[in-house]
Amino acid sequence: MKRPREYPMMPEHPEPEVAAPVAAPVVPPELMMPPRPDPRQTLSYLRGLLQSYGLEPKSKLGQNFLIDLNLLDLTCRAAELSYADSVLEVGTGTGSLTNLMAKQSGCVYSVEIDEYIQAIARQIIGTRRNVKLHLGDALAGKNVLNPYVLKGWHDWTVANGATTLKLVANLPYVIATPLISNLLISGLPIERMVVMVQWEIAERMQAVPGTKDFNALSVLVQSVADVSTVRKVLPTNFFPRPKVDSAIILIKPNAAKRAKVGDVPKFRAFLRDLYIHRRKNLRQALIGWPSGAKDKHFVDAKLAELGYDGKERSEVLSLDQHLELSTAFGAQD
């Protein structure tokens, strides 16, 4: 058997204060139901399922369950799953995508923050030997991945002899941007991400310079990965229906692009500070740097040396120009 790779265990951040994973909740007997065969989780099925548990979807957790079974199949096809794959799923939900991926991959490590929804998933998923359910938050903070999730995924990957890492998930909207961003800068050798996100986020990730959607997220993602839309998804494909359109997107980390960026966490920090005040022009943004004001004469001289007009805005600059500015000004922090 091919020896699994050694994966870095932590993102490049100070270790956060994070509670250890909690045990699965003890479900009252009246809410228990026996393990069942892999069900078709249609609208009527999900409604009845949640009602039988006395539960309603929580909008604050971004709980919108996918009810179009063809889109579940499409997600797995875009992921190009094989038995060499270890899949991270964030947002187990009621286990519909989890079950499907378990049949096509080496193993699935699925994270769910809602203890009662996870209890349902445990009943539906049953005793699949290649599925590990993790109760908790995938993030330890806005800019920090939960180290217990990373360690759990690593250990499960090794235990199942998997060699390729993938993120495949119908992501809760509230976690999509920070999760994707932090995984991209973490250094984990993820082969691809196939995720459901808000249509607005999908547009930002693929936006070109000079457009209204182009921002720090656009620059970061496109500087280290290749991004494409698999399918636009309407609200009618979810229960309950979200108020916005969604999209299944494919993100493929690009090693050559990453090498060109160099220090990705530092580049991400530079972009965050550069775009914190979008209405400021380039000169104003650099002089009024959030982590410490820069000398005006230094900024003017450096911009002139590099051939930039300080009156233009950051969002009209190319990816290479962002990298050049990061090299010139980021080290001054």
pLDDT tens track, the chain, 333 positions: 444 444 333 333 334 445 455 444 444 433 334 444 567 788 999 999 999 999 999 988 989 999 999 999 999 999 999 999 999 999 999 999 999 999 999 999 999 999 999 999 999 999 899 999 999 999 998 889 999 999 999 999 999 999 999 999 999 999 999 999 999 999 899 999 999 999 999 999 999 999 999 999 999 999 999 999 999 999 999 999 999 999 999 999 999 999 999 999 999 999 999 999 878 899 999 998 887 778 899 999 999 999 999 999 999 999 999 999 999 997 544
What is the model's pTM? Answer: 0.87
Cis peptide before 240 (omega within 30 of 0): yes
Domains 29-259 and 264-332 share a fold: no
pLDDT at 330: 78
Q: What phi and psi, each to the nearest 5 degrees, are found at residue 332?
A: -80, -10
pLDDT at 12: 39
pLDDT at 2: 46
For residue 49, give both structure tokens: 């399922």
pLDDT at 10: 35
pLDDT at 258: 97
Query: Cα separation of 111 and 147, whole Å?
Result: 13
Residue whose entry in the numeric block shows the structure tokens 């590099």: 306
145 sits in which H/E element = strand 144-145
For residue 209, give both structure tokens: 């310079």
pLDDT at 67: 93
CB within 8 Å of 216: residues ≥ 6 apart: 271, 272, 274, 275
Which sequence spans correspond to the domains of the chain?
Answer: 29-259, 264-332
Asked if 101 and 87 touch (Cβ cutoff 8 Å), the reply is yes
pLDDT at 203: 98
**Fold of the CATH domain 264-332:** Helicase, Ruva Protein; domain 3 (1.10.8)
Torsion on CA atoms 27, 33, 39, 44, rounded to nearest 10: -90
Query: Cα separation of 135 and 317, whole Å?
Result: 42
Query: Cα separation of 157 and 20, whole Å?
Result: 20
Q: Residue-wise over 242-280: b if at least 16 C-beta within 10 A, else e?
A: beeebbbbbbebeeeebeebeebebbbbbbbbbbeeeeb
pLDDT at 226: 98
pLDDT at 206: 98
Angle in degrees, CA 97, 102, 105, rounded to 5: 115
Kindly tell me the burial class for residue 173, based on how many C-beta atoms sit within 10 Å of its own C-beta (0-12, 13-18, 19 or more). buried
In the three-class reduction of DSSP (H, G, I as helix; E, B as strand; rest coil), residue 266 is classed as helix
What letter does residue 272 receive in the DSSP assignment?
H
Query: Cα separation of 137 and 16, whole Å?
Result: 13
Chain-centroid distance of CA 138 in Å reads 9
Q: Does domain 29-259 have CATH number 3.40.50.150?
A: yes
Altogether, the residues listed in the chain come to a count of: 333
